[in-house]
Every structure is written in C-alpha cells, then in structure tokens.
Chains A and B, each alone.
Chain A
C-alpha cells in the first residue's frame, strides 16, 4: 500500500508529525476564521511571534541534544529584553543587542557551570535560575517598564533588530532564518555538532572517546542563553518597551515546540526544523484564538490540550511506522 512507503521516511524524520499537525491546523484555521486568520497582516504577526519563540526553541533544542534541559530561557529572554531596551535608548541598538546577547551568554554560562560542576540535574538548576533571573528582572524594573518613545524608534539599526519590517515581515524572521542556517551547519557538518549529539546519545561513550563532555554541555547552555536573550532583544525592539514579566511562561512553549518538533528529551536526537515548525504551530494557535475572539486565558489550556493530543498523535504515528 502506498502509505507503507512513508514508513521509512517517518522513522528517519521525527519532525514529520509536527508538519502534519501544522498542515491540518492551517487548513482548519484558514477555513473557520472567515479570513481573519489567513491574511497577510496576521501571517506577518504570526511570523514575528514564531521568530522570537523559534530562536528560543532552537537554543533549547541544542541543550536537549546534549541530554539536558534548560527551563530558564523565559527569564533569560526577559533579561535580554531589558538589557536591549535600556541600552538602545542610550547607545546604538547594535551594541545594545550585543550587550543583551552577552547577558544571555553569562546566564547560560552560570547554568552550564553549575550543572557540570555540581552534577545536579539541569531541570533543578535551571528551575532555580528561572526564578532567580525573573526575580532580578522584576527587581531591576521595580514594577515599572522601560520604553523608547516613538520618535526615537528610528535609524536602520533599530529596524534591523526587530524594530522594523523587511519585505513585509518583521526583521526578526530573517534573524531566525540566518541563525537556523548556521546552527544546521554546525550541528550536521562540524565536529562540534558530532560531539554534541554524541554526548546526548551516550555521555559515557563520548567521554571514553576523549570528548570533553562538560565543555560541550557548557557550550550548549551558552548558545541557548545567547539565543533566548537575542530573542528577547528582538521582541523588545518590536514593542519598544520592556518590563520585568517579559518572556514569562515562554520557556514552556519553547520546550513544547522542541518536543512536538521531534526532539527526544533523552538527548541525542533533535530536529531544528521540527522545533521551528513547533514554534510556528504554537504561534498559529495563539493567533487563531486571538482573531476568533477567544479569551486569552483559554490559550494556555488549549495549548496544553493540543500538546497532549499532538504528543499522543506523534507517538501513534511512530508506533505505526516501526511496525513492519
């Protein structure tokens, strides 16, 4: 039968599930929203949200690849947003974004250092840093928000960093594409990527072959922190303001994007394109609920239901593909 021909493909490509789910949802959303979902403006908004969530998801996917997890990315995003916006009003936004990325790298380094030094599960450490950096973000802003007046939101570097559009899409989307391309090459075609996936597949085996397991994990956390903070900077650039709550609960969406996208939480098997598709699906759902007038508080509930349903659907698909 023709369907059986797809089995090897599904076995090889864990991200097929999320693409099917995405395709089905697009059809449903487009046909039930009376044109309010599937229009150029709304798709642009979805792409902007996908871009920032996607950058974060790519970083989380890299960490998942080593067999660890980073749930502190929501707070890192917030710290990146604050750093960028506070500085962008004072210096050129390029340097503000670089400073935000440096903040993210520092947070990632703290996570990675604590995890590799103390051999404590990354779930616990990053749960702690999630709260620590959220606390710092709220304390820094003292309950208020930073903002840049409209009049000052000009200059091409400000637009370049999330504050403007290019070819009809927010510039964040192009950053996402660039970062994705670089990461794919690093992961698939460079020694670092080979060792990173080896660490996730079997840390003991990688260690026995001379791979510096701790350094690889530390690097993964640094990359993840940098991407989350950069995503925060782009979001802040888009909004023109930032407060201490930015990025709250985004860590859950990023992890959901990765898992839906076919990244194995045990490590060693990740799909970057799957994680991006996961981010797109979550952003689409969010947008659908907004344009159809569903109260925002339902979002997290419906998101949860879809995650559970999609995970079950993906598992069923996989079991079917494994059977002869």
Chain B
C-alpha cells in the first residue's frame, strides 16, 4: 500500500513538474527506473504509475481547457475524427495511463527477471 502511494505521488510530481522540460519518453524511462528500484508488485507497478500519469495528463489538459476557453480541443477532435472534445480529454488520459502503466510494469518485470537469475 505504501509503495503504491509512493509511486503514485512520485509519478504525479514527475509529470507535473518535470513534464514541461522533457519529452514524455524520458518520463517513461524515469518511471521504469523507479519501479525497478522500488520493487513493488506487478499490479501496483502497473496501476499506480498508470493512474498517476493518466490523471496528471487529464488534469493538465482539463486545466488548460478551462483556463483558455480555446476552440482548439474542439478543432483537434474534429480533425482526428472524434465526435467531441471530451473524447479527446479522455483519449489523453487513457494514453497517459497506458504510458505510465506499461513503463511501470516494464521496470518491475525487469527487476523480477534479474532477481530470478541472481
């Protein structure tokens, strides 16, 4: 439980504060490294960073949407063939979740793999 909270908080802070300065694939490497080091279980390593990453992405997108009141999300949704801009917001969240979750899982599984070997 503790590890899952730790991971959640860490990844959230990572996305919110390091996110603006690094492309998202760098964040993925960091997430994988962290789950590798913490040694949490597979489920935790998948769900915690996934939720943290996804919710952070959703929160940032939502915040920008509200703050700017821009037409852009609607325009982008239409351009990408989506029915409305809410889907785009969820799309961003789901993609964030997948990115966080699989990065986390990769780190943990690598650790497990090496542990067994050792």
Please indicate whether A and B come from the same complex rather than being unrelated chains: no
Q: What residues of chain A have their CB less than 8 Å away from a CB belonging to chain B?
A: none
Q: What residues of chain B have their CB less than 8 Å away from a CB belonging to chain A?
A: none
